[in-house]
């Protein structure tokens, strides 16, 4: 599929998809090398190596300093022990600096990997699988949660180093004096219980905190998308209160999280000095008994501090808990079921005949579309009409395999869509939606982006067909103008989306309310250009205006998710229910036939099943802008 020019949901009364959804629903996926399973393993290993080496230097320092002090007091010359002590101190400083450097790079690499994997999971899944996740929640998972999850490898390395230091210090302490080591060892179970309690209590709080963040982000994004409506209705204060309502809950969760953290640090801050004081007291007694030297006493005090420093692991453990919960949230996106593609290709030169056989689509257990035996003749233009919620956009999505039906299958030129390769499907089926998503490149790049790379001349032809060439040329740099610097109206934005679809038109082109922002005259010009200047093929047009339905070769009328009738606009206009779809009341003159409803447009000749258009005078203006 060529990238769409908007969102696949349209019309009031149903969930309108955001621009973010469109990027998710309309990916242009080509063959890419698989992501390495462990993109930051080398950096993680470097962080671990530097951390462990720094811990080893920290453990060796007290022994070297104690030996140096003893030699200086006894002989006045420490020999090579003095430079060794200085080297260990300098080495620890350098290793700590290297650890910080590699930690930053490791975090950045892993964050990018987590974010890419989660985003790829979104892009390759069907829209229905992503529907439970609001855009704000997805944004939180891809930003804050991905950053927290990306810090896990470095945090694990830091935790390993923070455990190696006290264990190494305990072993060294036992080598210096076993009695002091036993004294310190008696206090370690209390520290271990403290860390275990902290990890258990923090996990649930962090998960709730991250979920509340997502709720706030989702509500804020909704408010930003509806800013015009909120301003016009004067409901800014009420909307502000709605967005910020979870803030009190977030604050309470944050306070609880920091209270747990502070409680753990406070308790360890009490236990560590007590253990150090006890070890120093025992060491002093051993010194008085002649069992320890002054240097040994210095080493004993330092080793007691390092051993009791296991309590400082609470901070690192908290980071790991946050990273674990964040990774769980990003992994939910990463593990979404991918859309599977087949190995077949379409027969060359096919007319684009579309068939829907036994198609059923369910949403929440409710049937939203049933279409069986529907045939769209190749090369024809078919308008899909119906009230809000009738299933128009669902039909459009199924027709080009944006979604798969729960039952049945769709065929294009006799080949089931789910058996086509990704390339075969997306190069022959193009979409244009109501709200374009054009990216941040230049105008030309926005139009050219797709499954195929059209020439610059083809880009300009597509822009002319969409009625966009005139205003594009008036931009500061024409087609090379960056989109963020291009002041575009809603209609101009939509015309660029149409130009993109026209540039990538294949044998099937689906327009899902893609001209809603255009005035009637411009829409008619685009329709003429579509028939004359765009690659011939089948057109499936979701329509809300009777003039669009009148210009189509056939009309497919949907009601409550089922096909009510198929025929020309003039034929269907005799039915009161059909007129009501366009806002013409049941009392409209059905007997007048074509003269009462369909507009007398000077369109091209009739297609299949269409005849005599534009032959009668229009006695009654139709409500062109009325949409169901």
pLDDT, tens digit (0-9, with 9 covering 90-100), for 116-141: 999 999 888 877 788 888 888 888 89
Cα-based torsion angle of the residue sequence 498, 499, 505, 511 in order, rounded to the nearest 10 degrees: 0
C-beta neighbour count of 189 within 10 angstroms:
9
At 284-319, the pLDDT tens digits run: 887 888 888 888 888 888 877 777 666 566 677 778
pTM above 0.85, yes or no: no
At 78-104, the pLDDT tens digits run: 788 889 989 988 998 999 899 999 989
Between strands 508-512 and 538-542, the pairing is: parallel
> Range with the lowest mean pLDDT among 7-21, 80-94, 485-499?
7-21
pLDDT score recorded for residue 286? 78
At 373-409, the pLDDT tens digits run: 999 999 999 999 999 889 999 999 999 998 899 999 9
Band of the pLDDT at 183, cuts 50, 70, 90?
A: confident
Q: Taking a C-beta distance cutoff of 8 angstroms, is the pair 422, 27 a contact?
A: no
> Range with the lowest mean pLDDT among 422-431, 553-562, 576-585?
576-585
Helix (H, G, I), strand (E, B) or coil at 280: helix
Give, as one character, the DSSP assignment of residue 588. Answer: S
H or E element, residue 558 = strand 554-559
At 187-232, the pLDDT tens digits run: 777 767 766 677 667 777 788 888 888 888 888 888 887 887 888 7
Q: Rounded to whole angstroms, how far apart are CA atoms 536 and 514?
A: 18
Band of the pLDDT at 479, cuts 50, 70, 90?
A: very high
Q: Taking a C-beta distance cutoff of 8 angstroms, is the pair 194, 267 a contact?
A: yes
What b/e sequence results for 90-115 when a residue is b if at least 16 CB atoms lie within 10 Å of its CB, and e otherwise? Answer: ebbeebbebbeebbeebbebbbebbb
Q: Rounded to whole angstroms, how far apart are CA atoms 183 and 275?
A: 8
Burial of 77 by CB count in 10 Å (0-12 exposed, 13-18 middle, 19+ buried)? exposed
């Amino acid at each position: 599929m060529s990238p769409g020019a908007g969102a696949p949901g349209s019309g009031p009364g149903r969930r309108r998809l955001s621009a973010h959804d469109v990027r998710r629903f309309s990916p242009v996926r080509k063959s890419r090398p698989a992501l390495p399973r462990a993109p930051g393993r080398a950096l993680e290993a470097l962080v671990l190596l530097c951390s462990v080496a720094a811990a080893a230097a920290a453990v060796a320092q007290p022994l070297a300093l104690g030996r140096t002090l003893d030699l200086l007091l006894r002989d006045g010359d420490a020999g090579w022990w003095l430079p060794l002590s200085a080297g260990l101190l300098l080495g620890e400083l350098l290793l700590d600096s290297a650890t910080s450097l590699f930690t930053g790079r490791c975090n950045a690499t892993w964050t990018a990997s987590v974010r890419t994997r989660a985003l790829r999971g979104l892009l390759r899944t069907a829209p229905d699988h992503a529907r439970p996740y609001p855009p704000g929640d997805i944004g939180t998972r891809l930003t804050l949660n991905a950053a927290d999850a990306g810090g896990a490898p470095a945090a694990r390395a830091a935790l390993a180093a923070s455990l190696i230091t006290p264990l190494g210090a305990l072993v060294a302490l036992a080598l210096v004096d076993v009695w002091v080591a036993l004294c310190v060892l008696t206090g370690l179970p209390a520290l271990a219980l403290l860390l275990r309690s902290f990890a258990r209590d923090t996990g649930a709080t962090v998960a709730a905190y991250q979920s509340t963040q997502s709720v706030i982000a989702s509500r804020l994004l909704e408010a930003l998308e509806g800013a015009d409506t909120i301003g016009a209705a004067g409901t800014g204060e009420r909307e502000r209160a709605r967005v910020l309502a979870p803030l009190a809950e977030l604050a309470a969760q944050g306070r609880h999280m920091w209270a747990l953290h502070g409680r753990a640090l406070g308790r360890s801050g009490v236990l560590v000095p007590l253990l150090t004081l006890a070890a120093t007291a025992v060491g002093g007694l051993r010194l008085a008994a002649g069992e320890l030297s002054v240097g040994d006493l210095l080493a004993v005090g330092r080793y007691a501090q390092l051993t009791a420093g296991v309590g400082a692991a609470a901070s690192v453990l908290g980071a790991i808990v946050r990273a674990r919960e964040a990774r769980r949230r990003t992994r939910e996106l990463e593990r979404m079921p991918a859309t599977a593609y087949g190995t077949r290709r379409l027969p060359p030169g096919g007319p684009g005949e579309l068939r829907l056989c036994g198609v059923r689509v369910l949403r929440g257990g409710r049937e939203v579309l049933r279409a069986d035996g529907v045939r769209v003749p190749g090369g024809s233009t078919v308008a899909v009409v119906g009230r809000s919620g009738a299933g128009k956009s669902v039909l459009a999505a199924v027709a080009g395999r944006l979604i798969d039906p729960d039952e049945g299958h769709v065929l294009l030129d006799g080949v089931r869509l789910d058996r086509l390769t990704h390339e075969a499907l997306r190069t022959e089926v193009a979409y244009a939606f109501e709200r374009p998503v054009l990216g941040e490149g230049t105008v030309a790049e926005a139009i050219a982006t797709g499954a195929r790379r059209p020439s610059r001349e083809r880009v300009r032809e597509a822009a002319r067909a969409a009625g966009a060439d005139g205003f594009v040329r008036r931009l500061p740099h024409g087609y090379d103008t960056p989109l963020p610097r291009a002041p575009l109206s809603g209609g101009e934005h939509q015309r660029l989306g149409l130009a993109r679809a026209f540039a990538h038109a294949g044998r099937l082109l689906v327009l899902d309310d893609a001209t809603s922002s255009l005035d009637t005259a411009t829409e008619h010009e685009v329709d003429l250009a579509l028939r004359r200047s765009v690659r011939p093929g089948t057109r499936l047009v979701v329509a809300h205006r009777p003039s669009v339905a009148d210009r189509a070769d056939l009309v497919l009328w949907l009601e409550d998710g089922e096909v009510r009738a198929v025929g020309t606009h003039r034929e269907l206009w005799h039915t009161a229910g059909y007129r009501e779809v366009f806002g013409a009341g049941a009392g409209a003159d059905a007997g007048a036939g074509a003269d009462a409803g369909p507009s007398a447009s000077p369109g091209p000749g009739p297609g299949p099943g269409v005849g005599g258009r534009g032959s009668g005078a229009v006695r009654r203006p139709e409500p062109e802008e009325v949409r169901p």
